[in-house]
Amino acid sequence: MKIKIISIVATVLAFVSLASCNNSTSVNEKTTDSPTNISDTNSTNMNTENTTLDKKNFETTMDGRQTDLYILKNHNGMEADITNYGGRLVSLMVPDKNGKMTDVVVGFNSLDDYVNSTEPYFGATIGRYGNRIAKGKFTLDGKQYTLFTNNGANTLHGGKKGYQAVVWDAKQINDSTLELTYLSKDMEEGFPGNLNVKVTYSLTGDNGFKCGYEATTDKKTVVNLTNHAFFNLNGEGSGTILNHAVQIYASKYNPVDTGLIPSGQLAPVAGTPMDFTKPKTIGERVDAENEQLKNGKGYDHNFILNGTKVKGLNHAATVTGDKSGIVMDVYTEEPALQFYSGNFMQSKNTFKGGSKDDFRTAFAMETQHYPDSPNQPSFPSTVLKPGDVYKTKSVYVFTAVK
């Protein structure tokens, strides 16, 4: 298998609430999107005011580039606040079961807080390669590349200065859409090729947060982009996420070693604590006597999606907040999903509302290709060649149940 590249066809118009598309094609095929009337474009007028955060706390100059905070809204009152420092989702306001707007993404009040955080990935756009590469090495066409190892003996989320620590060029297209671009230069963090990256974040008419990723290169390289939002569907500062109910549409997962590098197996979830084929609370088995849970200090594993299609996208997961009734459905063109249960949160940082980042008070659902794919030929390829286009999307859709 190759990295997925998507061609949008006319039939997608019937499903614009998810901005979905047809079946994927190989990364080696050049594709062009046809014009589509996307429902998440609500207006051409831009919001200039944020109701929850002070934009001034995000306005400075870093590495010669201007940072800012951008506010996206849809017609339902949903709001996403994003800073171009690290392409970070700072806040995401959605209605709970009583219609109360609830911030379901943990984050900080200022740019300084992000820069000084002991956890570097809150809300960030992740690249050039999301997740881990074993021993910080991989080989392309017989040439070995050496990366910075920032996670024990391994490389995590792009290395020492991944995309979470750079200032992206930002262009707010309209009320509901933000476009971020970045040139990742040849050999940045050890990766070959000048990689031109475009990330488009938008709010859809059905309360979806859509992440669109696109990249081209002038030299063969590896790419695996995602967003690392930390969610608490009961609201930031509401306490543990252990009573959230999770369903993951995957019958297999990647077992990992103590460094969280996959063994290469696609193991069945049946009969293990990894079985979320039916809804289970996070806390029900997270501390079970299980080698995989010990290796991850909880859930920190890649799930192989079954390919259950909803409006052209893989239905990856459904998560429900026990107090708020907020339901988050994750849809993606990616083949896998990393579920992380907040095992390394240590109460060292203070969030927007004054709460600490306490142990397991937020979780992540990262759509992706498999970890360590560059070193595992049996995994779907993450290689991108000159002349080809890396293109993929994921959507997090929010509803509520009484």
Element (H, E) at 336: strand 336-340
Please say whether the beta carbons of 319 and 246 come within 8 A. Answer: yes
Please say whether the beta carbons of 235 and 103 come within 8 A. Answer: yes
Pairing of strands 221-222, 208-217: unpaired
Q: Give the CA dihedral 104, 106, 112, 117, nearest 10 degrees.
A: -160
Active-site residue flag, 119: no
Length of the chain, please?
A: 402
Q: Let me know how many helices (H) and strands (E) the chain has, helices first.
A: 2, 31
Cβ within 8 Å of residue 77, ≥6 positions away: 93, 95, 101
Secondary structure letter of residue 240 according to DSSP? -
Radius of gyration of the chain measured on its C-alpha atoms = 20
Q: What are phi and psi of 399, to 5 degrees?
A: -130, -175
Detail the DSSP E strand segments found in 65-165: 65-67, 69-73, 79-83, 88-95, 101-103, 124-126, 132-133, 137-140, 143-146, 155-156
Cβ within 8 Å of residue 56, ≥6 positions away: none
Q: How many Å apart are CA 402 and CA 394, to the nearest integer?
A: 26
Nearest residue to 203 via CA among 88, 41, 47: 41
* DSSP SS3 for 15: helix
Choose the catalytic residue: 157, 334, 366, 369.
366
Cβ within 8 Å of residue 330, ≥6 positions away: 315, 316, 317, 318, 319, 337, 365, 367, 394, 395, 396, 397
29, 122, 234, 399 from 331: Cα distances, Å: 23, 21, 21, 14
The token pair at 215 is 């990249």
Active-site residue flag, 366: yes
Secondary structure letter of residue 381 according to DSSP? P
Choose the catalytic residue: 188, 214, 228, 301.
228
Active site residues: 228, 366
